[in-house]
Amino acid sequence: MNGKSPKSAGRQGTATLRIAHHTFALAWRTDPFVVSVVVCLSLAQAGAVAATGLSQRWVVDAAQSSDGQLLVALALAVLIGVAAHVTAAAGNRTRYNYQHDLTDRVDLEVNREILTATASIPTLEHLERPEFLNRLELLRRHTGALAGSCWAMTDTGIAVISAGLSLWLLVGVHPALGALALLALPPLWAADRAKRNLAAARTATAEDQRLEDRIHRMFLAPESGKEIYLAGAGAVLDETAHAARIRVVTAVLKARLGALGWQLSGWVCYAAGYIGALILTVSLVTRGAASLGDLMLVITLGTQLRFQIHGTVSGFSLIAEAGHATDHYLWLLAHARHQRGTGTRAVPDLRQHGIRMRDVAFTYPGSHEQVLSGVNLDLQPGTTTALVGANGAGKTTLVKLLSGMYVPNTGRIEVGGMPLAELDPVAWRRRLSGAFQDFFRFQLPVRHTVGIGDPDAMDDTEQVTRAVREAGAAPIIGRLPDGLDTQLGTLYGGVELSQGQWQRLALARALMRRHPLLLVLDEPTAALDPLAEHEVYEVFMRQANTDPGRITLLVSHRFSTVRKADHIVVLDGGRVSEQGTHAELMAAHGRYAELYSTQAAAYQEETDTSNNQLDGF
Ligand SMILES: Nc1ncnc2c1ncn2[C@@H]1O[C@H](COP(=O)(O)OP(=O)(O)OP(=O)(O)O)[C@@H](O)[C@H]1O
């Protein structure tokens, strides 16, 4: 970690410069006046220390001289000294406040850019792989450093200029005093090493940080809170979170202590050099090779040089920190660009060719287990295809590939005769619709909870009302105090719904798009009673058969629903083991017939038992 090659350090430096330029442009767009004030104050401050030192030398030398110019020299020196002091003190305060305010505003912009980039990634890999999540987490935590990167550059520039001026004056007294510049290197090197150790500790514990954060959020969310309560798992989870926190704190503390050690040794070097500089100047004064004013100058600038070097060191540290966040930021932008793909073609009509999968194989990134292999499928437009298979057979994975959330490792997917990879992914997503078993509860006003299924129509009351009606959710809305404008969910003091009611709204969301090309229904009715489920599927099947350009893909374990599909595909261990209509598959007496008969027999048994119980009354 510490052995960074010069090449990679150079790349990091270029990347940081690029980000500094980018954030400076953002700051300029946000408030050009404030940026101008800060830059002017910074330049004035760069010369303030040297001016203070010079004025003090003049005061002392003038006090010793006897050429009658004493009063003029004193007045001039005091004037310069006061001006330099005021510039340094007041300018610093003003600049600091302005910089902070602007950094906050730029931080907002950077966060927005991060959200936009994340939202533009059409695939889901970055949300499901720990190493990606860790990077996103680190980036989210350090956006402040990213936003402040242009000021870190400015501050470092000021510190370097003012340290340069001080050194120039010191060398004027005696060239050996220039060695103080060399002594600035150990603190710089030590600070860089300390920062890198700290960054390494943060990266190594990012997963623990995420774990702790997640457990805290689980405690606060009603869904998980309920299960934690029932299982009495609070103490165990609390302990897990605590242990994760301890690991983070210990690693960071260790790195901080190490950093302190490195920084202290750096400063000890400098202190020794400063003492040496004073001894040298005193000996020059006693030999008449320097004036008392020179000694004054060395005392002042030598002390100030310490702060200037400190400014340079912390400036470089801030740049390094921004550089670390920059890494993650540039990774996110590159990943978004890469995943966005090169597809630019318009989405074709499906009426002619439908969707075809040919020899598709897929393994989740970071996993070794092949989830799908040699999958060949033809999904015909205007029809419903049902996917069945045991848990883990690969049904949801297949849905994810068809939706474009993941890209197959081998094989191809064609949509309307064109490779899916060549289609504009944003345009493709605008033609998808669907509902999942693990649907999300959007805690928004009802019209947006439903309307978000088609962002173009989310404020169209007529469309929202239609979707609500078709999903059989109208009675739910009828009972809400403000109808479609009712705020949902307890997070914002809204009305809480039952699981089945939330699921009805998720189905309404899937019905928002009037003419999707691909509608995926991945066990979306698990929380509904059988009658409600039947009604909902009636709606979807009717729409499937009356919309000739639409393909409906249904994943279900309920064979009473599956049997109504036009085409049924059985997945077994990631392969298509059978396909055909219900009648064809029953006649084949294969896996489907076996599963169907087992479920039908179980239903029959249940019905008989309850009938017998009723007979007993
Ligand atoms: N994000 C992921 N990363 C790695 N492996 C995954 C991921 N999601 C699913 N898998 C694995 O892929 C396999 C297929 O999962 P998938 O969810 O597609 O099955 P399924 O047929 O839909 O199952 P179920 O009926 O239980 O919903 C499983 O072995 C699962 O462990």
At residue 538 the predicted structure's pLDDT band, cuts being 50, 70 and 90, is: confident
pLDDT value, residue 464: 94
State in Å: Cα 391 to ligand 1 middle: 8
Say which residue, 72 or 443, is predicted with more confidence: 443
Yes or no: domain 6-204+246-339 corresponds to CATH 1.20.1560.10 = yes
At residue 425 the predicted structure's pLDDT band, cuts being 50, 70 and 90, is: confident
CA distance 397 to 38: 54
Two tokens, residue 46: 């760069």
Evaluate: CB of 389 within 6 angstroms of ligand 1.
yes
Two tokens, residue 172: 């004027």
Evaluate: CB of 394 within 6 angstroms of ligand 1.
yes
State in Å: Cα 396 to ligand 1 middle: 7
**Closest C-alpha residue for ligand 1 atom 3:** 364
Evaluate: CB of 66 within 6 angstroms of ligand 1.
no
- 61-104 residue pLDDT tens: 777 765 656 677 667 777 777 777 777 777 778 888 888 888 88
Q: What are the sequence ranges of the domains in the chain?
A: 6-204+246-339, 355-589
Evaluate: CB of 373 within 6 angstroms of ligand 1.
no
The amino acid that residue 112 corresponds to is R
Domains 6-204+246-339 and 355-589 agree in fold: no
pLDDT value, residue 3: 44
Say which residue, 12 or 4, is predicted with more confidence: 12
**pLDDT average, residue stretch 590-607:** 76
CA distance 94 to 173: 34
Least confident of 121-125, 147-151, 379-383, 450-454: 121-125
State in Å: Cα 438 to ligand 1 middle: 13
As a dihedral over the C-alpha atoms of residue 234, residue 238, residue 241, residue 244, rounded to 10 degrees, the angle is -130
At residue 617 the predicted structure's pLDDT band, cuts being 50, 70 and 90, is: very low
State in Å: Cα 436 to ligand 1 middle: 14
Average model confidence (pLDDT) across the chain: 82
Task: With a cut of 90, say whether residue 134 has pLDDT above it.
Answer: no
State in Å: Cα 174 to ligand 1 middle: 74
CB-based contact 148:318 (threshold 8 Å): yes
Task: With a cut of 90, say whether residue 579 has pLDDT above it.
Answer: yes
- 14-62 residue pLDDT tens: 766 777 777 788 788 888 888 888 888 888 777 777 777 777 777 777 7
State in Å: Cα 407 to ligand 1 middle: 15
CA distance 22 to 104: 15
Say which residue, 617 or 281, is predicted with more confidence: 281
Task: With a cut of 60, say whether residue 519 has pLDDT above it.
Answer: yes
pLDDT value, residue 8: 60
pLDDT value, residue 475: 92
Evaluate: CB of 367 within 6 angstroms of ligand 1.
yes
Give me the percent of the chain exceeding a pLDDT of 70: 91
- 490-517 residue pLDDT tens: 777 788 888 889 989 999 999 999 889 9
pLDDT value, residue 74: 67
**Closest C-alpha residue for ligand 1 atom 28:** 392
Yes or no: domain 355-589 corresponds to CATH 2.40.50.140 = no
Evaluate: CB of 128 within 6 angstroms of ligand 1.
yes
The amino acid that residue 494 corresponds to is G
CA distance 464 to 511: 9
How would DSSP label each residue in 522-573? ESTTTTS-HHHHHHHHHHHHHHHHH-TT-EEEEE-S-HHHHTTSSEEEEEET
For a ligand 1 pocket test, name from 124, 370, 395, 400 the mutation site with the most ligand atoms within 8 angstroms of its C-beta.
Answer: 395
State if pTM tops 0.95: no
Evaluate: CB of 392 within 6 angstroms of ligand 1.
yes
Neighbours of 142 (CB within 10 A): 20
State in Å: Cα 394 to ligand 1 middle: 6
Helix (H) or strand (E) holding 428: helix 425-429
**pLDDT average, residue stretch 574-584:** 93
Task: With a cut of 60, say whether residue 615 has pLDDT above it.
Answer: no
pLDDT value, residue 12: 60
**Closest C-alpha residue for ligand 1 atom 16:** 394
Evaluate: CB of 126 within 6 angstroms of ligand 1.
no
Task: With a cut of 70, say whether residue 383 has pLDDT above it.
Answer: yes
Two tokens, residue 175: 């060239």
Q: Quote the DSSP letter at residue 576.
A: E
Give me the percent of the chain exceeding a pLDDT of 90: 20
> Closest ligand 1 atom, CA of 367?
4
State in Å: Cα 435 to ligand 1 middle: 17
State in Å: Cα 573 to ligand 1 middle: 11
Task: With a cut of 70, say whether residue 600 has pLDDT above it.
Answer: yes
CA distance 169 to 54: 8
